[in-house]
Structure 1
Amino acid sequence: MDQQLEQVGVDIQKIVYKKAMLHACKYSTEDVIGILIGQINDTHVNIVDAYPLFHSRVSLNTLEVSLDIISSELQSDRKIIGVYEARANARGIMSEIAKEMLHNINQKQAIVLRISQVEVDDAPILNAKIVSLNENVKYVINSSSTLEWWVIQDCLKAGLHWKIIDFDAHFENVQLNFRNQYLE
């Protein structure tokens, strides 16, 4: 007997792609992970922001501190609803961390935005796609959202990926702003 898939509509703001994909570009030889912020319910997900977290080894203490800081700054109608990740190789350590973070979010529609490198016309580019951890849920990207490369092409030409600050960098120098508001 075929089981009906639950369809969940997803809207993704451009700022989410910019932060996540530029984070992956800056640290292209390392695994990166960040969190997704927005609203989520049974039939709709609205991803409105992303916070780059790490590009190197992660300790439980730094993860907890970073999530506490972000959670304390969120508007009341927003919360952590998922993670994004880009792996530098097939054996990336970040996937285990992402799984643990998703478990802690404890929502059946928690979002995973996976960034990977693909080739188009013999040129490597990044592709972002939402993957479902719940086999009964099918995500439907709304037409106002796009996973296309053009969202960050101008940012890369301007070198903005070198300015991305994640929590790794913020913990080394607390003067660095992990919010990356210059992209808005």
Structure 2
Amino acid sequence: MSGELRFEIHQNAYIKLILHALKHRTAAVNGVLLGRSAADGGTVEIVDSVPLFHSQIGLLPPLEIALIMIEEYYGGKGLSVVGYFHANERYDDFELAGVAKNIGDHITRYFPQAALLLLDNKKLEDLLKGKDRSPVMQLYTKDASSWKLVGSKGSDQLALKEPSANTVLLDYISSEKWKNIIDFDDHLDDISKDWLNSGLFE
């Protein structure tokens, strides 16, 4: 895989994932990234995201149900699963969990250049203090055998599609919009709950 592959994440996809992590601050949470490869082949565009689980995130049957429903819905829109998002249970844990690698491995079978995004609580804290405006996630990609952290500070391999995304995120955090996030756990408990979060950005 080329080390120069770029990932560009749209504002709503980005905000949904972070609000999901903030809603369940004391639990590990995860989600999938939906998008497409750009025509140039050098960029993967992450157009949307779906928050998955906040309890027992490693269980296979609920994950399989979620992926079938997600692929069916987004396939009709010309999008496919292009990556995975993970936030660790502990604030100070910056290690990529085994469950994240396993689900990432599954996704690479269908989309070899998949991204694995890990929430970086330090960057999120800096953003809240007004110190940093870069994406509050670490980017991992898979080489022949393992997941590797891509770049470091100043790397533009993960970019926000809209430069204002972090400003909008801060507004949503201050208005406690994270309370409105619905994930697949919520939907499986009560199927009337909308896992697409259609009304979140209205």
Determine whether 1:14 maps to 2:11: yes
Per-residue deviation, residues 4-50 of structure 1 (Å, max 9, x unmatched): 95311222100111110000100011000000000036421000000
Per-residue deviation, residues 74-127 of structure 1 (Å, max 9, x unmatched): 1352100110111022398x8322222222222331111111211439959992
Partner of 2:138, secondary structure, is strand
Partner of 1:54, secondary structure, is coil
Determine whether 1:130 maps to 2:139: yes
Query: Which of residues 23, 26, 42 in structure 2 aligns to 1:26?
Result: 23
- 1:142 CA displacement: 4.7
- 1:160 CA displacement: 1.1
Q: What value does the CA root-mean-square deviation take over the aligned residues?
A: 3.1
Partner of 1:84, secondary structure, is strand
Cα distance in structure 1, aligned partners of 2:68 and 2:22: 26
Determine whether 1:71 maps to 2:80: no
Cα distance in structure 2, aligned partners of 1:79 and 1:35: 10
- 2:172 alignment counterpart: 155
Kept in 2, the 8 Å contact 1:129–1:147? The answer is no
- 2:89 alignment counterpart: 88
TM-score by length of 2: 0.76
Cα distance in structure 1, aligned partners of 2:159 and 2:67: 28
Summarize the Cα distance change of 1:30–1:147 in structure 2 as closer, same or farther, 3 Å threshold: farther
Kept in 2, the 8 Å contact 1:128–1:147? The answer is no
Query: Which of residues 182, 195, 200 in structure 2 aligns to 1:165?
Result: 182
In structure 2, stretches of 5+ residues that fail to align are none
Higher strand share: 1
In structure 1, stretches of 5+ residues that fail to align are none
Determine whether 1:116 maps to 2:120: yes
Kept in 2, the 8 Å contact 1:84–1:112? The answer is yes
Which structure would you say has the larger RCO, counting Cα contacts within 8 Å and 6 or more residues apart? 1
Cα distance in structure 1, aligned partners of 2:160 and 2:72: 32
- 1:67 CA displacement: 0.6
TM-score by length of 1: 0.83
Cα distance in structure 2, aligned partners of 1:174 and 1:183: 17
Cα distance in structure 2, aligned partners of 1:21 and 1:165: 13
